[in-house]
Amino acid sequence: MLTAQRNERLTRVGPGTPCGELMRRYWIPIRAYAQLLENPVLKVRILGEDLILYRNKKGGLGLIGDRCLHRLVDLQYGIPDDEGLRCPYHGWLYGETGKCLERPMEGKPQAEIRQKLKGYPVRELGGLAFAYMGPLPAPDLPRWDLFVWPNSIRQIGITEIPCNWLQCQENTGDPTHSAYAHGHMFEYVLRQKGELGQRSSDSLHTMHQRKKVGIGIKEIYAYQTEHGFRKGVRYSKALGADSDKEQEHSTVIFPFYTQTGHTGAPRSEYQIRVPMDDTHTYHIAYQCYAAPPGVEAPKQDIVPYYVPPTHDADGKPILDYVLAQDAIVWVAQGPIADRTIELLGRTDIPVVLLRQQLDEQIRRVEQGLEPMNYFHESPAMIHPTGSPPDYSNPDKLNKHAFRKYYHKGFANDDADRYGPIIETVKELHRMIEEFELKRRAEQQQTSEHA
Amino acid sequence: MPIGQELINTVLQAVLDQVPTMEVKSVSFSPANPREGEDVIARIEVKGAHYVLCEILSDGRLQSARVIES
């Protein structure tokens, strides 16, 4: 359990709060760029601030305060101009710094006014619009590998989750939740729907794999890395596991990312838990489907987005895919989990490390130091897992094999099933499987000849 | 800001306070008497069939934590 004071410290993200100040040292993904192509003016709420994200007529991006200085009209109804955004009421024009550039009908020459709106830098990378809301100069925008990995196709799943961001992120510091949230609960849900036999007949089905997560645990570990932390479970056959083995869980990228699947795999993903405010999280599932050397991924000009539903038309939660199973337990902890009354156990040791790391990085900012993953100049590509993919061992790339076989029906168990490119992904997975089988046969032939 | 053993104890306390289901029997350190500036590994014996190892860096960072079945 935490003290009330420490719970506040780790969860609140508004201006001037300890965690809010930490978050303001990072480029924060705030929308899919494709959303701006549909509608060039979007109202956003990030770190407790109401803002307007816009794309001007020349394609430049801006993120400014949401109320016109003049008569306080909400600028979500604004009109993109060559240099900025115009208020729809009297046409006052704002540039990307929030400065008022023009006040039509107020006479000429116009004296510069000292009042301005908030204005934050925005940049695009990998199909996402990123904002930086901290002290200037801004750091460099980190080129995390899935954003720039070649020979890939991508899609972006967006879900607004009505709870504090840390509940979502603590899930990634919790390697054993899968046993129930994605194993036993999955089984329960499929049985209730009458789909258990049909959906989980294959032994590769995630439900079967996840149910084993809690059996035969010898050790639960977590350790800090250059970019976040890694954690996992070591199993012992003597304790009931099917073999002595180690299973690493997803990789945490500080402060609010987690990566599942290895970069370069047929399916990998960043889950990004962007704090909208203290009680809402903008959850981005950034999905990347990479082809190995020898297979060509389809060309993709724009990374499309989609909104995976968490509830059906009757308002009942949809629980038959992995992300929705996570989302329901995050929300079910309350708007901000009251950690003063929680009762952690041994399996929560990685969660404790995650909180400790967060506290340490908050303290660095309080001391005037740069926190982890603050880049003056980003490398051309950053591997949060520490290494590029090993294509000579394709089985290791996707540790959950079902995620490389979406063409065999397994897409149905992930949010990806709702994505606009899912049929293209299935075709890519079919091509990759065909390529791997052919390569394996050739290797076998070569070794037989040798 | 505490230093040395005091800093180590602060970090350990922050960890153990969060996991009240683990009842601490004893804590030992390696090295046994860490000097200022030295990293340490704390071995925490808890009731039940497991123990906890916490690696604490000299600057007070919790570098790693693991729970191991005895």
Last residue of a domain, one of A110, A132, A154: A132
**A108 close contact with B: CB closer than 8 A:** no
Look up the domain containing A344 and give its range: 145-449
Same domain, A76 and A182: no
Are A94 and A175 contained in the same domain? no
On whether both A356 and A395 belong to a single domain, the answer is yes
Check B18 against A345: CB less than 8 A apart.
Answer: no
| Residues 6+ away with beta carbon under 8 Å from A311 | A317, A318
Cis? peptide before A255, omega within 30° of 0? yes
Question: What is the percentage of chain B residues whose pLDDT exceeds 90?
Answer: 67
Q: Is residue A4 part of a domain?
A: no
Residue A271 and residue A128 share a domain: no
> Exposed/middle/buried for A354, CB within 10 Å: 0-12, 13-18, 19+?
buried
Separation in Å, CA A138 to CA A96, A133, A199: 15, 9, 48
Host H or E run for residue A129: strand A128-132
Is the complex ipTM higher than 0.85? yes
DSSP letter, residue A122? E
Nearest to A219 among B22, B55, B66 (CB): B66
Residue A281, strand partner residues = A161, A275
* Number of domains comprising chain A: 2
* Beta carbons of B65 and A349 less than 8 Å apart: yes
**What is the number of CB-based contacts under 8 A between chain A and chain B?**
74
- Domain span holding position B53: 5-69
Dihedral of CA atoms A276, A277, A278, A279 in degrees, nearest 10, equals -60
Instruction: Decide if B11 touches A, using CB distance below 8 A.
Output: yes
For strands A228-235 and A217-224, give the pairing.
antiparallel
Locus of tokens 């924060």: A28
Same domain, A175 and A241: yes
Please, what sign has the CA dihedral across residues A323, A325, A329, A332? positive
Does any domain span residue A138? no
Residues contacting A388, CB < 8 A, separation 6+: A145, A263, A264
Which domain-ending residue is among A80, A104, A132? Answer: A132
Contact of B22 with chain A, judged by CB distance below 8 Å, is answered with yes
- Are residues A177 and A86 both part of a single domain? no
State residue A387's pLDDT score. 84
Contact criterion met (CB < 8 Å) for B19 and A346: yes
pLDDT at B1: 42
**3-state secondary structure labels for all residues of A216-265:** CEEEEEEEECCCEEEEEEEECHHHCCCCCEEEECCEEECCCEEEECCCCC
Confidence (pLDDT) at A385: 86
Do A80 and A172 fall within a single domain?
A: no
Residue A127's CATH number: 2.102.10.10
The pLDDT, as a whole number, for residue A282 is: 98
- Smallest Cβ–Cβ distance between A352 and the set B19, B60, B61 belongs to B19
Bridge partners (DSSP) listed for residue A35 = none
pLDDT tens figures, A104-139: 999 888 888 999 999 999 999 999 999 999 999 999
Contacts of B68 in chain A (CB under 8 A): 218-219
pLDDT band at B3 (very low <50, low <70, confident <90, very high): low
Predicted pLDDT at A391: 87
A120 CB-near residues (< 8 Å, 6+ apart): A51, A63, A64, A131, A132, A133
- Give strand pairing partners of A311: A317
Rounded to an integer, what distance in angstroms lies between the CA atom of residue A399 and that of residue A110?
63
Same domain, A391 and A245: yes
Residues A114 and A160 in one domain: no
How many folded domains does chain B comprise?
1
Q: Mention every residue, 6+ apart, whose C-beta is less than 8 A from residue A389.
A: A262, A263, A264, A265, A290, A397
Q: Are residues A290 and A190 in the same domain?
A: yes
Q: Is position A281 within any domain?
A: yes
A99 plus A210 within the same structural domain: no
**Domain boundary residue among A82, A103, A132?**
A132
Please tell me the distance in Å from B26's CA to the nearest CA on chain A. 16
Of A218, A348, A356, the CB nearest to B14: A356
CB contact under 8 A, A221 and B66: yes
> Rounded to two decimals, what is the model's pTM?
0.96
Query: Low-confidence residues of chain A, pLDDT below 50?
Result: none
- Secondary structure class of A87 (helix, strand, coil): coil
**Is residue A168 located within the same domain as residue A120?**
no
Q: Does A174 touch chain B (CB under 8 A)?
A: no
Residue A1 included in any domain: no
Residue A21 included in any domain? no
Q: What is the pLDDT of residue A388?
A: 86
Structure confidence by residue, pLDDT tens digits, A202-240? 888 889 989 999 999 999 999 999 999 999 999 999 999
Total Cβ atoms within 10 A of residue A216 = 20
